[in-house]
Amino acid sequence: MGLEYEVNSDTLLWNDFIKGNEDAFQVIYNKHVRSLFKYGCHFTPDEAHVKDCIHDIFIDLAKYRSGLGATNNIKLYLFKSLKRKIIKSLDKSAIFGSIDTEQIPFHYAISTEDDLLDTESEQLRFQQLDKAMATLSPRQKEAIYLKFVSDLSYEELSKVMELNYQSARNLVFRGLEKLRESFPKNLFLFFLRSGKSWQVTG
């Protein structure tokens, strides 16, 4: 359909959407649904439930569109909405009380059976990394995820996680530090060449 939007024109896109432009609505969906789904699946392994929540936030958007305020960052808006929607749905009692943000789970396991792993030694290293990941707090995991997988800035991730800027940075840096402890002392070198890895022992 008529997709007359440049990549970084969130303000315009959002304004068109608020004014009732259905194309704008579809562009927003297409641009963000994949990363929203990935993010949502870290709160619950139930993929169908994550889809339902995404469905609900887009229906809410359509329903309240004329009353929505301006935004220049649609991704941030959607990430916040989805997180709120999933958490509320996982813990019905939270609707009435405040949620203890520290208690919200964030599943982040590093698969070691992935086809993408090229060698056995690489598999071993990922197993170590997975063990280190398990020692992180849910919020450290979420911060690292939002920074490196969702590609949010510290400013954005502090807003999604409702923290101040410095606390958000700290979560990422301390989390990374713990992950690095899993690295082996002896050195393996990997290089990427045309998408495949080859290995040198040294």
Partner 1 sequence: MTPSDEQNKVDFIHNPHFVEWVTKPTDELNQFWEAYLSENPSRKKELDHARFLLKGLLINEHSLTEAEVLALWDKIEKTKSSRNTKVIWLKRWSAAAGILLILGISGWLMSNLRSKTDTVINYKSIASNIVPGNEIKLILSDQSQKIFSSKDVELKYNQDGKLETKTGNQVQTEELRKSMETTQMNQLVVPRGKRSTIVLADGTKLWLNSGSRAIYPVAFNGKTREIYIEGEGYLEVAHDASMPFYVVSNQIKIKVLGTKFDISAYKEDKSISVVLVEGSVQATTATENLVMKPNQILNYEKLTQRSTIAKANVLEYVSWKDGWMLCNKEQIKSITTKLSRYYDVKISYNDLNLSNMTLTGKLDLKSNCEEVFKVICATAPLKYQVIGHEIFLTKK
**H helical segments located in the chain:** 10-18, 22-40, 47-64, 74-90, 120-134, 138-148, 154-160, 165-180
Q: Which residues contribute to the site for partner 1 (CB under 8 A)?
A: 1-7, 20-23, 26-27, 29-31, 33-34, 37-38, 41, 47, 50-51, 54-55, 58-59, 62-63, 109-111, 114, 116-117, 125-126, 129-130, 144-145, 148-149, 151, 173, 176, 179-180, 183, 187-195
Q: Which is nearer to partner 1, 91 or 130 (CB)?
A: 130
Residue 49 near residue 67, CB atoms below 8 Å: no
Residue 61 near residue 68, CB atoms below 8 Å: yes
Report residue 73: phi and psi, to 5°: -145, 85
Q: Which is nearer to partner 1, 2 or 105 (CB)?
A: 2
Instruction: Give the Cα separation of 42 and 110 in Å (integer).
Output: 12
CB of residue 97 to partner 1, shortest distance in Å: 29
CB of residue 44 to partner 1, shortest distance in Å: 10
Residue 91 near residue 126, CB atoms below 8 Å: no
CB of residue 176 to partner 1, shortest distance in Å: 7
CB of residue 55 to partner 1, shortest distance in Å: 6
CB of residue 34 to partner 1, shortest distance in Å: 6
**Spatial CA neighbour of 86 closest among 108, 105, 67:** 105
| Helix axis angle, 165-180 to 120-134, nearest 10° | 140
CB of residue 116 to partner 1, shortest distance in Å: 6
Q: Which is nearer to partner 1, 72 or 148 (CB)?
A: 148
Q: Which is nearer to partner 1, 52 or 94 (CB)?
A: 52
Instruction: Give the Cα separation of 108 and 121 in Å (integer).
Output: 21
- The gap between the terminal CA atoms of the chain, to the nearest Å, is 55
Q: Which is nearer to partner 1, 157 or 179 (CB)?
A: 179
Q: Which is nearer to partner 1, 67 or 97 (CB)?
A: 67
